[in-house]
């Protein structure tokens, strides 16, 4: 993100009103993007907060699936009928 904006971590952190270390940990994936941080990042990058939260959610889900691989392998899968999927807005498959 930062190279695309032409900003250093220090400058971006200053503009966001956070410490350089906080921004570094977020970009490194060792700290989570909170809704408040998503709003800040969206403002800085002219994007939507939901974009930043979706990146965080994808990151969190990937790590959860990796950590739970053995447990998930033991859980059977039952598919919802297409009509139910459409009614609840669940169009894709979990795996």
Q: For 70-90, how does the pLDDT look when each residue is reduced to its tens digit (9 = 90+)?
A: 999 999 999 999 999 999 988
Q: Which domain holds residue 60?
A: 2-88
Count of domains for the chain: 1
Q: For residue 44, what are the CA distances in angstroms to 1, 16, 36, 61? A: 10, 7, 13, 26
Instruction: Confirm whether 82 is domain-assigned.
Output: yes
pTM: 0.79
pLDDT at 2 (0 to 100): 75
Instruction: Confirm whether 93 is domain-assigned.
Output: no
Q: Which band of pLDDT confidence, cut at 50, 70 and 90, is reported for residue 94?
A: low
State the CATH number of the domain containing residue 77. Answer: 1.10.260.40
- Whether residue 30 is predicted with pLDDT greater than 60 in this model: the reply is yes
Closest CA to 60 of 41, 34, 37, 36: 34
Instruction: Confirm whether 95 is domain-assigned.
Output: no
């Amino acid at each position: 993100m930062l190279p695309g904006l032409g900003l250093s971590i220090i400058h971006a952190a200053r503009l966001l009103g956070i410490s350089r270390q906080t921004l570094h940990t977020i970009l490194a994936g060792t700290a989570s993007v909170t809704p408040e941080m998503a709003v800040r990042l969206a403002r800085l990058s002219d994007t939507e907060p939901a974009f930043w939260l979706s990146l965080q959610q994808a990151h969190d889900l990937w790590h959860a699936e990796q950590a739970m691989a053995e447990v998930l392998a033991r859980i059977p899968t039952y598919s919802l009928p297409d009509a139910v999927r459409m009614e609840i807005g669940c169009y894709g498959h979990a795996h």
